[in-house]
Amino acid sequence: MQPLPWTNFAPPFSHGAYMNIPSMGEIIPRLAETHTVYALEFQGHGRTTDIDRPITYPNLADDVAAFMDAVDLGRADVLGYSMGGSAGVQLAIRHPEKVGRLAVISGASFSASGFQPEFLEMIPMMSPEMFVGSPMEEAYRELAADPEGFPALVEKLIALEHEPLEWRDEVEALDLPVLIVAGDSDVVTAEHSVEFFRLLGGGIMGDMGTPLPDVRLAILPASSHTSVINQPDLLMALIGPFLRDETPAGFM
């Protein structure tokens, strides 16, 4: 079994934005029961200090690649949640030689048009003041080397929401096994998750003698963006077989 770099990006396995390793809940320790897990905290998150650089998905992907080089991890299975999932997609685009299998949890988007309309309407109104006194700020203060640095982090993460997100061609060119997991009430629409799945070759008719493509899609019922990561039993039932390359047997 290949080692797994797991980032804490809202939700890294790369974790999600505003998150850290503890806020990812039980999924990391559950994975660690059967895998070697590298839990990473992104720039400005958790115990990782901020630097004078924007937070962008290419920058985060390059950071993960640099970490893998530093620990002599040539190739690994990569899992990421939310922002961490998008960083995982960029890692596969920018450093394909480093990624064996890629699981993207609530972060499989190749275009901003795939976000829910309510989220797109909220982006222009986002401000650091909205996060004052929030659970995200409390979690930040518990671990950060600079407890007063939260507003600066928020400004960078708001700027990230304004970054261009048009990766269709790059995603379509990916050539590796991918697991896409999303909630049916996620920040990315279910239709966009299906489109992402089909871009990678998914959605063919099975039981016709043609091997299934190396891409899988799971839509969790009654699940919002933040509740997806709080279902470790269900996630493990999906992630475990994917990492083991197990495919359910039919009778045809």
Please check whether residue 155 lies inside any domain of the structure. yes
Q: Per DSSP, what are the bridge partners of residue 215?
A: 178
Cα dist from 82 to 8, 24, 245, whole Å: 9, 11, 23
Residues 58-80 have pLDDT tens digits of 999 999 999 999 999 989 999 99
Find where tokens 């928020």 sit.
154
pLDDT for 249 equals 86
C-beta of residue 224 within 8 angstroms of C-beta of residue 101: no
Residue 13 has a pLDDT of 55
Q: What is the mean pLDDT of residues 220-243?
A: 96
Residues β-bridged to residue 80: 104
**What angle separates helix 135-143 from helix 150-161, to the nearest 10 degrees?**
120
Q: Hey, what are 225's tokens? A: 């963006």
Cα gap 34→242, rounded to integer Å: 13
Q: Is residue 84 part of a domain?
A: yes
Both tokens assigned to 36: 């070697």
62 in any annotated domain: yes
At residue 14, the pLDDT reads 73
**Residue 182 is assigned to a structural domain of this protein:** no
Residue, of 6 and 211, whose pLDDT is higher: 211
Tokens, residue 199: 């871009």
Looking at residue 210, its pLDDT comes to 85
Q: Give me the phi and psi of 104, to 5 degrees please.
A: -115, 115
Q: 166 in helix, strand or coil?
A: strand
Q: How far apart are CA 193 and CA 196, in angstroms?
A: 5
The residue-averaged pLDDT of 73-97 equals 95
| Residue found by looking up tokens 């596969």 in the block | 92
| Average pLDDT value for residue range 84-91 | 96
Give the pairing of strands 14-16 and 215-224: unpaired
User: Looking at the DSSP assignment, which residues form a beta bridge with residue 13?
Assistant: none
Query: Is 93's pLDDT higher than 60?
Result: yes
Q: Report yes or no on 94 lying in a domain.
A: yes
- Residue 245: inside a domain: no
| Inter-residue contact 31 to 56 (CB < 8 Å) | no
Residue 4 pLDDT level (bands cut at 50, 70, 90):
very low
Give the integer Cα–Cα distance in Å for 79 and 32.
Answer: 13
For 7-54, how does the pLDDT look when each residue is reduced to its tens digit (9 = 90+)?
A: 333 223 578 899 999 999 999 999 999 898 999 999 999 999 999 999
Where b means 16+ CB within 10 Å and e means fewer, 173-182 reads ebeebbbbbb
Number of domains in the chain: 1
Q: Is residue 208 part of a domain?
A: no
Amino acid letter, residue 14: S
In angstroms, the CA 120 to CA 145 distance is 32
What confidence tens digit (pLDDT) does each residue in 182-212 have? Answer: 999 999 999 999 999 999 999 999 988 888 8
Give 134-189 pLDDT, tens digit per residue.
Answer: 999 999 999 998 999 999 999 999 999 999 999 999 999 999 999 999 999 999 99
Provide the domain limits for residue 35.
Answer: 9-67+76-102+111-174
Structure tokens at 190: 């279910």
Among the listed residues 155, 197, 201, 203, the one whose alpha carbon sits nearest the alpha carbon of residue 180: 197
| Mean pLDDT of the 98-121 span | 96
Res 6 pLDDT > 50: no
The answer to whether position 226 is within a domain reads no
Q: Which residues 6+ apart lie within 8 Å of 145 measured at CB?
A: 47, 49
- The DSSP H or E segment spanning 4 is strand 4-10
* Contact of 26 with 60, CB cutoff 8 Å: no
Q: Where residue 91 sits, what CATH number does that domain have?
A: 3.40.50.1820
